[in-house]
Amino acid sequence: MSVPANLKYTKDHEWLKVEGDHAFIGITDFAQHELGDIVFVEVETVGESLGKHESFGTIEAVKTVSDMFMPVSGEVLEFNEGLTTTPEIINQDPYEKGWVIKIKISAPAEISELLDAAQYAALIGE
């Protein structure tokens, strides 16, 4: 499984890519592999401010539907509209083209509570 060193991770298998006071959020390579073929992504929280651990949307695979959770508190600025027509891009490229939302971080201190790549790799047994 791919675990890029430049990202932060949650125990719920979301990743966070920080760019200044904004961040991109998606699900990890491990998560997409466990879910299987992704068929639908729903995010109805654009424009909302959400706290850490709050659900920002759902991801549906052939096997199941799962909630996605905020790694840190912030305002949801944007949904990756490409996932509307091609949700399977998450299976193909979970860390770049398969990002799910972009947020404005409201609690930067929460970033330090996330897992680094080595900690996440240990969590998933890599």
What's 44's domain CATH number?
2.40.50.100
User: Does 60 fall in a domain?
Assistant: yes
For residue 55, what are the β-bridge partners? 69
**1 pLDDT band (50/70/90 cuts)?**
confident
Q: Looking at residues 36-48, what average pLDDT do you find?
A: 97
pTM value is: 0.96
pLDDT of residue 30: 97
Closest CA to 74 of 95, 98, 46: 46
Q: Which helix (H) or strand (E) holds 75?
A: strand 74-79
Cα–Cα distance between 71 and 10 in angstroms, integer?
6
User: Does 87 fall in a domain?
Assistant: yes
Percent of the residues in the chain that have a pLDDT greater than 70, as a whole number = 100
The answer to whether 75 and 104 are in contact (CB under 8 A) is yes
For residue 78, what are the β-bridge partners? 102
Total domains present in the chain: 1
Q: Looking at residues 33-57, what average pLDDT do you find?
A: 97
